[in-house]
Amino acid sequence: MLAGLVGRGIALSRTPGMHMAEAAAQGQGAVYRLLDMDAPERRGMDLEALLRSAEACGFDGLNVTYPYKIEIIPLLDELSDNARAVGAVNTVVLRDGRRMGHNTDLWGFAESFRRGLGAEACEHVLLAGAGGAGVAVAHALADCGVRRLSIFDTDTDRAARLAAQVTANRPGTNAAPLADALGLGGRDRPDGIVNATPMGMAKLPGMAVPAALIAPEMWVADIVYFPLETELLSVARARGCRVLPGSGMAVFQAVRAFELFTGRKACPERMRATFDAF
Ligand code: NAD
């Protein structure tokens, strides 16, 4: 496997380690390169030039991260259904001269959710954050059986756009923007909460969800994974909620990308062990 991660400021990514260790465990040779567009050797290089050189070098595929997940779309030949629904691509398979875009963030969150919280009630869920990751998470929640999705974002237009997008793409789910998360108290309380804002990251401490909303019967998931135990998860755990950290989404998006690049099944437990070892 020859693959790479395209983005900016990606020096600390755990993705190359997960792919290379998984390939090695399967007895396969693998090179996974960090293709940091901020690196001096790529100064002035655009995405199309990078894609052309990856193809010329025989890359099987690329992972794509901030800030290119949308910008890359017009440069691709085809999109998977999930990538088209979300409107963002985080994995590109390069095969037979064609560029196929996928969104494995969606499947990554869905798989993490099914394994970690699959038995929990999920009729009504509150999603905080309607940005790049929030779009994938919203579709994943719909795929996991959420019937009512309340979307809260400080950018109210974004929340409204995402609600309309999910309802159009996943008609079984009724999504609506929410002006104030505390509006969901009392009998309208959701079964679970997902944080897809950057709040809780080491560099952005705090919580996007008001603590007053969190009740012991709820489950709470975070997609932030640095740190793994965010303030939100810690408050929820202390109240007796079932919690799901962001590492699962990060691992499973890589599991699916590995399978797309190589055509071989990946071992999620092994990839998680590599992720945890960093
Ligand atoms: P983004 O900037 O595209 O979107 C963040 C959204 O959150 C924005 O719409 C913003 O308005 C909203 N927001 C910020 N603070 C808020 C608050 N206090 N209340 C309500 N809304 C608020 O970012 P993104 O790419 O969607 O990433 C969000 C987080 O998800 C990041 O911390 C990132 O590290 C994490 N992430 C994790 C995974 C994973 O695999 N676990 C994958 C992608 C992103």
Q: Which of 15, 127, 153 most suits a substitution to test ligand 1, by most atoms within 8 Å of the C-beta? A: 153
CA of 128 to the centre of ligand 1 (A): 9
ipTM of the complex, rounded to two decimals: 0.99
CA of 257 to the centre of ligand 1 (A): 21
Per-residue pLDDT reduced to its tens digit, 204-234: 999 999 999 999 999 999 999 999 999 999 9
Residue closest via CA to ligand 1's atom 19 equals 208
Q: Is 66 a catalytic residue?
A: no
In whole angstroms, give the CA distance from residue 277 to residue 77: 37
CA of 195 to the centre of ligand 1 (A): 8
Q: Which of 68, 197, 228, 249 most suits a substitution to test ligand 1, by most atoms within 8 Å of the C-beta? A: 197
CA of 252 to the centre of ligand 1 (A): 18
Contact residues of ligand 1, CB 6 A cut-off: 105, 128-134, 152-155, 158, 196-199, 201, 208, 223-225, 246, 249-250, 253
What residue ranges of the chain have pLDDT lower than 70? none
Q: How far is CA 62 from the centre of its chain?
A: 16
- Catalytic residue, chosen from 32, 66, 68, 225, is 68
CA of 201 to the centre of ligand 1 (A): 10
Q: What local confidence, expressed as pLDDT, does residue 142 receive?
A: 98
> Where would I find the beta strands (DSSP E) of the chain?
2-7, 31-36, 61-64, 78-79, 91-95, 98-102, 124-128, 148-152, 174-178, 192-195, 219-222, 242-244
In whole angstroms, give the CA distance from residue 118 to residue 228: 20
Ligand 1 atom nearest to CA at 159 = 9
In 214-225, which positions are buried (b, 16+ CB within 10 angstroms) versus exposed (e)?
A: beeebbbbbbbb
In sequence order, the 6+-apart residues with CB closer than 8 A to the CB of 241 are: 214, 215, 216, 217, 218, 219, 220
User: Any idea what the Cα angle at residue 185 is, between residues 128 and 224, rounded to 5°?
Assistant: 25
Q: What local confidence, expressed as pLDDT, does residue 154 receive?
A: 96
Q: What would be the CATH architecture of the domain defined by 2-102+249-277?
A: 3-Layer(aba) Sandwich (3.40)
What's the chain's average pLDDT?
A: 96
In whole angstroms, give the CA distance from residue 14 to residue 69: 18
Per-residue pLDDT reduced to its tens digit, 152-205: 999 999 999 999 999 999 999 999 999 988 888 778 899 999 999 999 999 999
Q: What local confidence, expressed as pLDDT, does residue 34 receive?
A: 97
Domain boundaries, the chain: 2-102+249-277, 106-245
Q: What would be the CATH architecture of the domain defined by 106-245?
A: 3-Layer(aba) Sandwich (3.40)
The contacts found for 268-275 with CB under 8 angstroms, 24 or more apart, are 268/111, 270/21, 270/22, 270/25, 271/18, 271/21, 271/22, 272/247, 274/14, 274/17, 274/18, 274/21, 274/22, 275/14, 275/17, 275/18, 275/247, 275/250, 275/251
Residue closest via CA to ligand 1's atom 17 equals 208
Instruction: Find the length of the chain.
Output: 278
Residue closest via CA to ligand 1's atom 14 equals 197
